[in-house]
Amino acid sequence: MPYSGLNLDGMVALVTGSGRGIGEALAVGLAQAGADVAVSDLPAGMAEASGVQARIEDLGRRSAAYQMDVQIIEEINTGIVRVVEEFGRLDILVNNAGIRRRQAAVEVTEEDWDAVISTNLKGTFFCSQAAARHMIPQGYGRIINIASQLAVVAGENRAAYCASKGGVASLTQVLALEWIQHGITVNAIGPGPTETPGLLAADSRSPEELDQDLTAHMPLGRRMRPEELVGAAVYLASPSAGATTGHLLIVDGGWTAR
């Protein structure tokens, strides 16, 4: 008999930035665990988001796709209100939407800095705030922030990205303390390098440079697959995680163990 503590039947989840990559894997994984799942993405990603919606519906779960730019607070608030109105509640929020720009610190512009911080940190906060406004009255909620192993160790040419993900880890602890009294847990997952379209697009290194980097830092010997993060998300979203809050769960193929 499956362990019921990881069953998400009857719960409603929203995964931001879920048209592809890690967000897609987590949205489908939460549906496989029993949740109805709303997906969201930028306007350019809505066709992909609709494809993820179809995959979830093929599993027998409810789904819908919403346009949401997490840099725009009005879109966040409107989108989450629509999820609650159309699904009846919101139990699980996964703050997955994020960007990276790989560049030397002396080359980072104000526009680069603002784009990364606004998406990765500001977006995470205001999505969490909007979700908590619905979770607090119901006395239950699970918020999962996608951080990075680079929230706790440095990476060259990633000044804005590391700053944003370190901020996400700290923010996770603050929100966990404030909201545990309302039955809401707030945790983060810190993935290592994961094979996603966004990572590949942001990485201009040659295959030789990538191999050298993986050899130096990644005991796993390869980039991770998005599906390897699903188990962590299902646990943190589940009833079993009721006493787990303010935690950064590193899933990085051994990167930070060196």
Question: For the chain, what is the radius of gyration of the CA atoms?
Answer: 17
246 within domain boundaries: yes
113 within domain boundaries: yes
Note the pLDDT of residue 65: 98
CB 253 within 8 A of CB 192: yes
Note the pLDDT of residue 74: 98
Note the pLDDT of residue 198: 62
pLDDT band at 1 (very low <50, low <70, confident <90, very high): low
Note the pLDDT of residue 30: 98
Rounded Cα distance, 177 and 184, in Å: 10
Note the pLDDT of residue 146: 98
CB 91 within 8 A of CB 13: yes
The rounded Cα 14 to chain-centroid distance in angstroms is 10
Q: Phi and psi of 242, rounded to 5°? A: -60, -25
Note the pLDDT of residue 240: 97
218 within domain boundaries: yes
Whether residue 215 has pLDDT greater than 90: no
Provide the β-strand partners of residue 158: 103
Structurally, how many domains does the chain consist of? 1
Tens digits of per-residue pLDDT, 141-184?
A: 999 999 999 999 999 999 999 999 999 999 999 999 999 999 99
84 within domain boundaries: yes
Q: Is 20 left (phi over 0), alpha (psi -120 to 50) or beta?
A: beta
Q: What is the dihedral of CA 231, 234, 236, 239, to 10 degrees?
A: -130
pLDDT band at 196 (very low <50, low <70, confident <90, very high): confident
Note the pLDDT of residue 202: 56
Is residue 3 annotated as a catalytic residue, yes or no?
Answer: no
Tens digits of per-residue pLDDT, 26-49?
A: 999 999 999 999 999 999 999 999
Domain boundaries, position 23: 4-253
Q: pLDDT averaged over the chain?
A: 95
Note the pLDDT of residue 201: 62
Mean pLDDT of the 190-200 span: 81
Mean pLDDT of the 220-246 span: 97
Mean pLDDT of the 100-112 span: 96
The CATH number of whichever domain residue 151 belongs to comes to 3.40.50.720
258 within domain boundaries: no
Mean pLDDT of the 3-10 span: 93
Rounded Cα distance, 256 and 147, in Å: 14
130 within domain boundaries: yes
pLDDT over 90, % of the chain? 88
Whether residue 205 has pLDDT greater than 70: no
Rounded Cα distance, 248 and 188, in Å: 5
First vs last Cα of the chain: how many Å apart? Answer: 38
Cβ contacts of 157-160, under 8 Å, gap ≥ 24: 157/102, 157/103, 157/104, 157/105, 158/100, 158/102, 159/105, 159/108, 160/101, 160/108, 160/112, 160/113, 160/116, 160/117
188 within domain boundaries: yes
Q: H or E stretch including 12?
A: strand 12-15
Choosing from 3, 66, 140, 161, the catalytic residue is: 161
125 within domain boundaries: yes
Q: H or E stretch including 217?
A: helix 207-217
- How far apart, in Å, are the Cα atoms of 204 and each of 23, 58, 72, 163, 200? 23, 37, 29, 21, 8
pLDDT band at 208 (very low <50, low <70, confident <90, very high): confident
